[in-house]
Chains A and B, each alone.
Chain A
């Protein structure tokens, strides 16, 4: 079938971002003050795409001969990517200038990574998954190392690159086996192949390799070793971007692939595997985060724990679980971008003000920032009525419904552990004397981004039912 204009129209959000990249590249080449224009341009493109995705949500279509889907759940994911990235642009604007990073490329790479994520989220075929994943990952490798005179940034970039490419090897090899077993690269055919039970050994090997590869990308426990180093070494705003939208994209693929497999039944091997990954990630992330003194490293371990909570929703294998995961991703994106945004705000020109001791007495020096950071910490710890609480609530309820009571219990225990290190930061800010005042570069753009993120964390937390009903409506 030859693609028509209608096909492009059905997947307009990625097309807009793609056009935005091309325009930004051209501007960068030919227009002198491109440095000033491109951040604003990228922000507007992200905002418009987010708005458009929300407005066209109820038209569910396929495009390009069922390679990609548009509308429905896909558009909710588009919204998470683009709105999250719009906030990342806001918190990056002054951060990039403070760190003296080449700025135009930074925003073009952000847009390019978002295009990759959108392709992943809308993919209904392994070819598209692979292309989207690689587009996203290659942009992440560059973004992690974009501060190229800084040794930490170089090192984070190299580690991310080597382990990311290693994971890609597993994913491609897994896809090859899935293809061999089912004779097709399309999700629909693969689901049918599982129902009929043909070549089940190859299919199982392939899917296991695929899940191992994606466990790297979502930062789940045995495959997490790159996460702390990369999130600590990469520029802070890049860590905010990778840990939230990147994770969302990888989870989107897992949900789109695994939910049909679970619902057609008689294919129970992945439930225990995913439950185990989830339990280990939660416990490991929460316990090791306690020992961390560097804020970025602590947030990285918290990110591993959150990957565990989200995996519970997938391991449950019911639509309610996946709806919970998407709600969780929405909440996590805004609270984590907010938290990293404040860390970026306070960070000095060199890698200073990143130690937990530096935050002592912050409430006196920067009362607004301290209050906002406490809000994000409460949200990440899962204290009601903020968004983080309901994210956990929905995945735990789904696990209990699916009969995985032990997994929900592990989740509750690990949330209780994690409260300690999130609230420790709050205690430092409010109840410790500051031995020295830290120098902070004020930035109204960052402040705006952080406040928007905070508002969303509150709104999504106060109206959880509306959001979850919307997601459930599209999932089933």
Chain B
């Protein structure tokens, strides 16, 4: 059996990749993909702990996370389309009518 630490290290690595992606990338869609990576690393952690503890609550939780992520994706992409129609760019550095 693979020790539980391996999964935790992998998910921590995924989470860090996601955070760094949000901080350094500038395209709104890539930012959103990085955020999805963060959510998925949380899901991996949940499954790891649920399997390790022999408890089903964590596995149920990830279904909710996935559903919510889908809802967020729908809203987020709609927002990006609305912005693109007005501005013809999705580069976060050019979206600067308001100061960051």
Binding site for B on A (CB under 8 A): 126-127, 130-131, 134, 138, 141-142, 145, 148-152, 154-159, 161-162, 165-166, 168-170, 172-173, 175-177, 179-180, 183-185, 225, 228-229, 232-233
Contacts of A156 in B (CB 8 A): 98
Is B52 an interface position by the 8 A CB rule?
Answer: yes
Instruction: Find out whether the CB atom of B57 lies under 8 angstroms from the CB atom of A169.
Output: no
- Decide yes or no: A165 and B35 within 8 Å by CB, A158-B95, A173-B41, A225-B100 being known contacts: yes
Instruction: Find out whether the CB atom of A138 lies under 8 angstroms from the CB atom of B42.
Output: no
Count, chain B residues at interface, CB 8 A: 44
User: How far is B57's CA from A179's CA once the two chains are assembled, in angstroms?
Assistant: 9
Chain A interface, >50% SS class: helix
Is B24 an interface position by the 8 A CB rule?
Answer: no
Q: Contact partner of B97 among A131, A148, A151, A177, CB < 8 A?
A: A151
Is B79 an interface position by the 8 A CB rule?
Answer: yes
- Decide yes or no: A183 and B53 within 8 Å by CB, A162-B31, A165-B72 being known contacts: yes
Q: List the A residue with the shortest CB-CB distance to B74.
A: A138
Instruction: Find out whether the CB atom of A166 lies under 8 angstroms from the CB atom of B71.
Output: no
Instruction: Find out whether the CB atom of A229 lies under 8 angstroms from the CB atom of B57.
Output: no
- Minimum Cβ distance to chain B for residue A178 (Å): 10
- Minimum Cβ distance to chain A for residue B24 (Å): 13
Is B13 an interface position by the 8 A CB rule?
Answer: no
Number of A-B contacts defined by CB within 8 Å: 131
- Decide yes or no: A173 and B38 within 8 Å by CB, A155-B95, A158-B28, A179-B57 being known contacts: yes
Contacts of A173 in B (CB 8 A): 15, 38, 41-42, 45
9 nearest A-B pairs in the assembled complex, by CB-CB distance: A169-B38, A180-B49, A176-B45, A172-B42, A154-B83, A229-B98, A173-B42, A134-B68, A165-B35
- Decide yes or no: A138 and B72 within 8 Å by CB, A127-B61, A151-B87, A168-B39 being known contacts: yes
Contacts of B9 in A (CB 8 A): none
List CB contacts (< 8 Å) of B2-42 with chain A. Answer: 15, 18-19, 22, 28, 31-32, 35, 38-39, 41-42
User: How far is B49's CA from A159's CA once the two chains are assembled, in angstroms?
Assistant: 33
A-B contact sample (17 more), CB < 8 A, given A161-B79, A172-B42, A177-B45:
A127-B64, A131-B64, A134-B71, A138-B72, A141-B75, A141-B76, A151-B86, A161-B76, A162-B76, A165-B76, A168-B39, A169-B19, A173-B42, A176-B58, A183-B55, A225-B100, A229-B99
User: How far is B86's CA from A84's CA once the two chains are assembled, in angstroms?
Assistant: 33
Binding site for A on B (CB under 8 A): 15, 18-19, 22, 28, 31-32, 35, 38-39, 41-43, 45-46, 48-50, 52-53, 55, 57-58, 60-61, 64-65, 68, 71-72, 75-76, 79-80, 82-83, 86-87, 92, 95, 97-100
Instruction: Find out whether the CB atom of B83 lies under 8 angstroms from the CB atom of A169.
Output: no
Contacts of A233 in B (CB 8 A): 97-98
Instruction: Find out whether the CB atom of A176 lies under 8 angstroms from the CB atom of B46.
Output: yes
Contacts of B35 in A (CB 8 A): 162, 165-166, 168-169
Contacts of B60 in A (CB 8 A): 127
Instruction: Find out whether the CB atom of B83 lies under 8 angstroms from the CB atom of A176.
Output: no
Q: List the B residue with the shortest CB-CB distance to A131.
A: B64
- Decide yes or no: A152 and B98 within 8 Å by CB, A134-B68, A145-B79 being known contacts: yes
